[in-house]
Homo-oligomer: A and B are copies of this chain.
Amino acid sequence: MHPSPSTCQQCAQRFNSVFCKAREEHVEVINDKKVCNIYKKGQLLFHEGAHPFGVFCINDGKVKLSHQGDDGKEQIIRLLKAGDVLGYRALLSGDRYSASAVALEDTQVCFIPKDVFINVLQHDAGMAFEMMKVLSDELHRSEIKLTHLAQKPIRERLAETLLFIKETYGFEADGITLAVKLSREEIANLVGTATESTIRLLSEFKKDGMIELDGKKIQILKPKQLLATANLQD
């Protein structure tokens, strides 16, 4: 993990986040009030149903955001990385959290209190606009996923999910190994299917030579073939 920055002004993620357009004075206020923290792998940032007291800004690491289905089954709705902010949805809607956030690896996070975040949003048009962009993009992603979930077979959705993981977290130094370790169950909860189906299809993908499996390490051998399998028209 990278060293913690002393200030938001120097933060590596500053221009890579929703704060990229925030005015200097506002960044200073945020810097004064933020609280940084490290969450160990598997640790909970917040839990579905809890009241939000602010937003979290990932400085380094990886986080999953997931709903609890009515029967208790997890549905992963977002994967977050450095520069991403989370917890804003509930804050803006005035709701409680509708999802839980869990660190996928040791993760360094800054917490920005609710009133500070809201206040800056209301006085900084540039940042407010960036926030709307983030929300719009998330909404877009969610609606596309909804359509695919309704209309595409699991094989295509799994291929798409592997490519999505690649887009989000990229590769290890070797250029082919996905830079995140997810259990088969987590991948299934991302795809929206049963764990066994995911395992079976991953084996098939391996047999077809598209991927290589070594425990939780997944290598993408033939990205083009995987893309064809995902059958995306977007």
**A89 CB → nearest B CB, Å:** 5
Stretch of A30-38, A106-114, A135-143, A198-206 at the chain-chain interface: A135-143
**In contact, A93 and B143 (Cβ under 8 angstroms):** no
Contact A98 B137 (CB under 8 A): no
A121 within 8 A of B: yes
User: Considering only CB atoms, which chain B residue lies closest to A230 in the complex?
Assistant: B70
Enumerate chain B residues within 8 angstroms of A176, measured Cβ to Cβ.
Answer: none
Given contacts A98-B144, A128-B128, contact A151 B75 (CB under 8 A): yes
Encode contact with B along A130-159: 1 for CB under 8 Å, 0 otherwise: 011101111110111111111110000000
The answer to whether the Cβ of A51 comes within 8 Å of any Cβ in the partner chain is no
| Docked-complex contact A67 and B136, CB < 8 angstroms | no
- A215, chain B: closest CB distance, angstroms: 26
Using a Cβ–Cβ cut-off of 8 Å, how many residues does chain A contribute to the interface with B?
47
Are A146 and B75 also in contact (CB < 8 A) when A70-B233, A128-B128, A135-B135 are? yes
Q: Which of A67, A92, A129 has the most CB of B within 10 A?
A: A92
Within the complex, what minimum Cβ distance (angstroms) separates A116 from chain B? Answer: 15
> Which of chain B's residues has its CB closest to A128's CB?
B128
Cβ-defined contact, A149 with B146, below 8 A: yes
Q: Report whether B129 and A132 are in contact in the complex, using a CB–CB cutoff of 8 Å.
A: no
Interface string of A72-83 (1 = CB under 8 A from B): 010101000000
Contact of A140 among B71, B98, B143 (CB under 8 A): B98
On whether the beta carbons of A89 and B125 are closer than 8 Å, the reply is: no
User: In whole angstroms, how far apart are the Cα atoms of A147 and B192 in the complex?
Assistant: 8
Given contacts A67-B147, A125-B125, A145-B146, contact A136 B93 (CB under 8 A): yes
Minimum distance in angstroms from A114 CB to a CB of chain B: 14
Q: Which of B125, B136, B139, B232 contacts A123 (CB 8 A)?
A: B125
A69 sits at the interface (CB 8 A)? yes
Q: A122-B129, A132-B132, A151-B192 are in contact. List 11 more A-B contacts (CB 8 A).
A: A69-B148, A92-B133, A92-B135, A98-B143, A98-B144, A121-B132, A122-B125, A139-B139, A142-B142, A146-B192, A149-B150
